[in-house]
Amino acid sequence: MFKQPARYSDVMLTLLVWLATLLVVGLFAWLVGDLILHGYSKLNLAFLLDVPQNAGREGGIAPILVSTLLILAVALLATLPLGLATAVYLSEYTNGALANGIRMSLNILAGVPSIVFGLFGNALFCIWLGMGFSIWSGGLTLACMMLPLFISTTESGLSAVTNEWRHGAAALGLSHTAALWQVLLPAASPAITAGLMLSIGRALAETAALIFTSGYVDRMPTSLSDSGRALSVHIYDLSMNVTGGDASAYGSALVLIITLMVISGIAVGLTNRFLSQRITLS
């Protein structure tokens, strides 16, 4: 398709495009290399299982990991039912103005800066509903942030299921509910999984929305009403407010990135197994 004698301007563009890509990849390698280089020494079991000492300069990140997972669990507990129900409603029960209205508001929500969600969560959960700085507040704030992403991916997955499946289920006498559980949701599982993965990634990466909802306290949380410091907030605090905390910050950053990868892997595996079982059993 592109067999042409090379000309000067052609060579220039080729060179430019290669250089740009090399620059991008080089920057990426620099960033990841630095993370591994500075964080590697911290990456051991003691770091994961110890409590932070001396404002986090020494010791580990155990309570922070627990808080992070609890915040994530609260967020998922709220996001999954709400998100799935909304996606099902949008794709299966309604169309026209109402559905478009819901979609538009979700689109706008998806672009709202996380710091604004932080303000919202602080006003609604911490103060209005009296939850204070707590894992509840942080998790619910995160849920509000994750919903648009989760709903749009799930809905597009459900819409992508061809009508033949619906016809087939109807012809077999399945109720709409049964068809949804046994056919449509399993068929849409890759999209739902992908949405879940993206949402978890967004939640774990979030800092700004958590600073004044789940707070700064780095003790081991004893209940969901305790304030808990998320891993990302820990990295922020170590690098900005603690002189000499850079090594621990890099260690935590490396742990965060590895956790991001592992959790998304587990989520994919579990969802696939769960939903493929349903489709073979039915």
Partner 1 sequence: MIWSRHNTSSPLRADATLARVTGSLAMAVAVLLGLVILLLIRESWGMLVDGGWVRFFDSEGWYPQRGQFDLLPMLWATLAASLGALLIALPLGMMSAVFSRFYAPGWMVSSLRRVMMLLAGIPSVVYGLWGLTVLVPLIAQWEPPGASLLAAILILALMVLPTVALTSEAALAAVSPASLQGAAALGLSRKGIVLGVALPEARAGIMTGALLAALRALGETMAVLMVAGNVVQTPGSVFDSVRVLTANIALEMPYAIGDHRAALFATGLMLMLIVTLLSWLAGRREELAHV
Q: Which of residues 105-134 bind partner 1 (CB under 8 A)?
A: 105-120, 122-124, 128
Residue 235 binds partner 1 (CB under 8 A):
yes
- Minimum CB separation from partner 1 for residue 90, in Å? 7
Nearer to partner 1, 16 or 273 (CB): 16
Joined together, the tokens standing for residue 150 give 């989760």
Residue 9 binds partner 1 (CB under 8 A):
yes
- Minimum CB separation from partner 1 for residue 21, in Å? 4
- Minimum CB separation from partner 1 for residue 101, in Å? 7
Nearer to partner 1, 244 or 273 (CB): 244
For residues 56 and 218, what is the distance between their CA atoms, to the nearest angstrom?
9
Joined together, the tokens standing for residue 244 give 């000499």
Residue 239 binds partner 1 (CB under 8 A):
yes
Scanning 51-59, 67-75, 178-186, 220-228 for contacts with partner 1 by CB under 8 A, the matching segment is 178-186
Nearer to partner 1, 62 or 174 (CB): 174
Query: In a 3-state reduction of DSSP, which class is residue 177?
Result: helix
In 3D, which of 241, 194, 204, 234 has the Cα closest to residue 217? 234
Residue 85 binds partner 1 (CB under 8 A):
yes
Q: Which of residues 31-60 bind partner 1 (CB under 8 A)?
A: 31-32, 34-35, 38
Amino acid at 120: F
The Cβ of residue 155 has, within 10 Å, a number of other Cβ atoms equal to 27
For residues 159 and 153, what is the distance between their CA atoms, to the nearest angstrom?
10
Scanning 5-13, 48-56, 63-71, 219-227 for contacts with partner 1 by CB under 8 A, the matching segment is 5-13
Query: In a 3-state reduction of DSSP, which class is residue 53?
Result: strand
Q: How crowded is the C-beta side of 104, counted as CA atoms within 13 Å?
A: 7
DSSP letter assigned to residue 41: G
DSSP letter assigned to residue 131: -
Q: Give the residue, chosen from 61, 65, 135, 253, that forms a contact with partner 1 under the rule CB under 8 A.
A: 253
Nearer to partner 1, 110 or 273 (CB): 110
For residues 222 and 139, what is the distance between their CA atoms, to the nearest angstrom?
16
- Minimum CB separation from partner 1 for residue 14, in Å? 6
Interface map 192-221 toward partner 1 (x if CB under 8 A): ---------x--xxxxx--xx---------
Joined together, the tokens standing for residue 202 give 């967004």
Scanning 44-52, 58-66, 251-259, 273-281 for contacts with partner 1 by CB under 8 A, the matching segment is 251-259
In 3D, which of 149, 156, 82, 72 has the Cα closest to residue 110? 149
- Minimum CB separation from partner 1 for residue 147, in Å? 6
Nearer to partner 1, 70 or 209 (CB): 209
Query: In a 3-state reduction of DSSP, which class is residue 282?
Result: coil
Taken in order 195, 209, 135, 45, the sign of the CA dihedral is positive
